[in-house]
Structure 1
Amino acid sequence: MSDTIDSGRGTVSRETIVLASNSASRKAMLSAAAVEFDAIAADVDERALEAGMEDAEPAEIAQALAAAKAAAVSALHPDRLVLGSDSLVEVDGRRFDKPTSREQAEEHLRFFSGRAMTLHSAAALAREGRIVWIGSDFARLVVRDLSEDFIAAYLDLEWPAVSHCVGVFRIEGPGVHLFERIMGDQYTILGMPLLPVLDALREEGALIA
């Protein structure tokens, strides 16, 4: 499935790239930056890839997932420049995936309470099925002490929307209430290291330099 994005207010693009994702936040970032793109979700078994990299660093896993998504869509659209991206959350040495149920989301939030979260976001570009660029960044987010009443009220507001979010939050929405301190780039926290991505797109000739 493809979504053609038209900002309706001009563009900085020389070509329309493909975003290998249907993530609302990643679409919003590119649209706000006046980058023309089509969105085509990648068919990648993320959990299987993670299982094969059990001993790898979180940043390496995020990069591998971003590259796998870009390469998968690029193989189907070899004439297009494809952008893949992925995010991974680590708390006290434990990696967290997107919650598969509200009950699991509650468990994640209880574990996060009072702890520091490291969010790794990675991106990769592919053309003709080959990775031509890869990059990543990370942010640190300190979660405040979360009461059971807050967790219940928060998920009443945000479930199931946050089932698509590692870390069980949308920082641009009620998820901001989870944190007492944030250190890092806002775009990385939203799910993609946008400034390095834009630089790479310019290097590839996809944007006006």
Structure 2
Amino acid sequence: MTLAAFTQLPAGDLVLASASSIRAKILHDAGLGYRCYPVAIDEESVRASALAEAVPVGDIAIMLAEMKAAAAVQRLAFETDPSPAFVLGCDQILACDEVIYSKPHDRAMAKAQLMALSGKTHQLFSAAVLYRNGARIWHHLAIAKNTMRRLDEDFIESYLDRLGAAAFTSPASYQIESLGAHLLSRIDGCHFSILGLPLLELLGILREHGLKPATSRR
């Protein structure tokens, strides 16, 4: 049974410009009314162009999050009347030793990423951009520093066997909400941001814009 949202916004549910089941679960578990509206942008091309121009990694994450939110705003304007008031775009980039790691396309790439990150400290840049009534009103960038355990090849193979297709949904096949907890020896950063959504900061800005409990006690 799906529980009703604990909170409400003054002008309808939040729109999440993403197909991420993890981000959706974070919003659901926090009691937010939301709906998913995935959009497609050429992330690899944008990322490559930005890197060629020496754009900082954190700025790239914000740029991609904004592009997703803006694309959703534009498309929804043609589909719904009135268009949704609040639209959220998110992006996450993993970087280590000046190398950016994207979602692996296949098992060989997932294995290569895990072997390359084994025993090293890397950074996760998690960006969120919020639009209200078609205008960008807020962004946030969270940076976590995480250290991966030394992983031998047998462990990596077993890990990927168990994850299956889920290994291709995040850079370095993270999945720290489940089996990925075995990958890391140290986490320096917000749990929610590491999962891909800076929830505490998002709740803060939404409260400033009218977020409140859906029901109030008399």
Using structure 2 for the length normalisation, give the TM-score.
0.89
For residues 134 and 142 of structure 1, what CA distance do their matches in structure 2 show?
Answer: 26
Contact 1:16 1:37 in 2 (8 A): yes
Q: CA deviation at 1:156?
A: 0.1
In the alignment, what sits opposite 1:133? Answer: 138
TM-superposition CA deviations, 1:21-57 (whole Å, max 9, x none) = 1111100110011100110101211111112211111
Does the residue aligned with 1:180 lie in a helix, a strand or coil? strand
Q: CA deviation at 1:10?
A: 4.0
In the alignment, what sits opposite 2:26? Answer: 29
Query: May I ask how many residue pairs the two structures share in their alignment?
Result: 203
For residues 162 and 124 of structure 1, what CA distance do their matches in structure 2 show?
Answer: 26
Q: CA deviation at 1:128?
A: 4.3
Aligned pair partner of 2:7 in 8, 12, 19? 12
Q: CA deviation at 1:164?
A: 1.1
Give the greater-gyration-radius structure (CA). Answer: 2
Contact 2:6 2:31 in 1 (8 A): yes
For residues 204 and 125 of structure 1, what CA distance do their matches in structure 2 show?
Answer: 11
Question: Which is worse superposed, 129-138 or 117-126?
Answer: 129-138
Q: CA deviation at 1:118?
A: 0.6
In the alignment, what sits opposite 1:170? Answer: 175
TM-superposition CA deviations, 1:157-202 (whole Å, max 9, x none) = 1121120112311111101111111111100111111111111222
The amino acid that maps onto 1:44 is I
In the alignment, what sits opposite 2:71? Answer: 72
Contact 1:20 1:83 in 2 (8 A): yes
In the alignment, what sits opposite 1:85? Answer: 90
The amino acid that maps onto 1:87 is Q
TM-superposition CA deviations, 1:116-163 (whole Å, max 9, x none) = 011110000123443221111011110011000000000001121120
1:184 aligns with 2:186: no
Contact 1:119 1:138 in 2 (8 A): yes
Contact 1:120 1:138 in 2 (8 A): yes
In the alignment, what sits opposite 1:112? Answer: 117
For residues 143 and 76 of structure 1, what CA distance do their matches in structure 2 show?
Answer: 40
- The structure-2 alpha-carbon separation of the partners of 1:10 and 1:68, relative to structure 1 and needing over 3 Å to count, comes to closer
Aligned pair partner of 1:208 in 208, 212, 218? 212
For residues 202 and 52 of structure 1, what CA distance do their matches in structure 2 show?
Answer: 36
Does the residue aligned with 2:124 lie in a helix, a strand or coil? strand
In the alignment, what sits opposite 1:3? Answer: none
In the alignment, what sits opposite 2:202? Answer: 197
Contact 2:73 2:87 in 1 (8 A): yes
Contact 1:17 1:82 in 2 (8 A): yes
For residues 126 and 77 of structure 1, what CA distance do their matches in structure 2 show?
Answer: 12
Q: CA deviation at 1:7?
A: 4.6
Q: What is the aligned-residue identity percentage?
A: 34
Contact 1:72 1:129 in 2 (8 A): no
Contact 2:5 2:32 in 1 (8 A): no
Q: Which runs of 5+ in 1 are unaligned?
A: 1-5
